[in-house]
Amino acid sequence: MNPPNPTTPSALRTGLRVVAAVPLITGAAAAVLGPEFLPGAQGHVEANLAQEFRFFAVWWMAVSVYLWFLADRVESARREFAIVCGVLFASGLARWASFATHGWPHPMFVALAAVEVALPLPLVLLHRRVAEHAARRRSPSSTPASYN
């Protein structure tokens, strides 16, 4: 039995759908529980911060829906996939800027920031390989002559 090929559209599609569960679950919990959902959250939270937190939690859930539908056309959505990866990278940089201005958060957020900065480039490169693999499969020149 051959191991799964990570450069196939179905593998990337499945991976995107698994990843899409994260913003759905964490966004729903954050929208319902508010800032108290955060690790280490203690005490009173200002109303402005609490309502803004819940607002962004719902947008975070929308990311999940977007990723789910993007997965349907992952091999052809090069620009959209690159934009999603760019936004992930920018969000990681924003966390690092916050660390610099407000101090170090809970270790989980430091780990998330590291992933958000480190993961986008390998994802874009993997996506490029997936798109090229899918294009070769669709190309008549890649089909053996006996199959024409």
pLDDT in tens, 73-89: 988 899 999 999 999 99
pTM recorded for the entire structure: 0.80
pLDDT, residue 8, reads 77
pLDDT beyond 90 at 121? yes
Residue 81 domain-assigned (yes or no): yes
DSSP-derived secondary structure for the chain: -PPP-TTSHHHHHHHHHHHHHHHHHHHHHHHHHGGGGSTT--S---HHHHHHHHHHHHHHHHHHHHHHHHHTTTTT-HHHHHHHHHHHHHHHHHHHHHHHHH----HHHHHHHHHHHHSHHHHHHHHHHHHHHHHHHH-GGGS-GGG-
Q: Which of 54, 58, 69 is nearest to 23 (CA)?
A: 58
Residue 15 lies in a domain: yes
Residue, of 109 and 43, whose pLDDT is higher: 109
Q: With a cut of 80, say whether residue 6 has pLDDT above it.
A: no
**110, 99 contact by CB (below 8 A):** yes
Domain that includes residue 91, residue range: 9-140
- Closest by CA to 76, choosing from 143, 3, 137, 148, is 137
| Under 8 Å between Cβ of 24 and 61 | yes
The pLDDT of 44-57, averaged and rounded, is 93
- CA dist., res. 82 & res. 122, Å (int): 11
Identify whether 25 is part of a domain: yes
pLDDT of residue 70: 93
- Asked if residue 148 is part of any domain, the answer here is no
Residue 54: is its pLDDT beyond 70? yes
5 or 13, which is more confident: 13
- Residue 146 within a domain: no
As for how many domains the chain has, the answer is: 1
Amino acid at 26: T
Residue 109 lies in a domain: yes
Per-residue model confidence (pLDDT) at position 4: 57
Q: Is it the case that residue 11 has pLDDT exceeding 90?
A: no
Compute the distance between CA of residue 140 and CA of residue 135 in angstroms, rounded to an integer.
Answer: 10
Q: Does a structural domain hold residue 117? A: yes
pLDDT band at 98 (very low <50, low <70, confident <90, very high): very high
Residue 75: inside a domain: yes
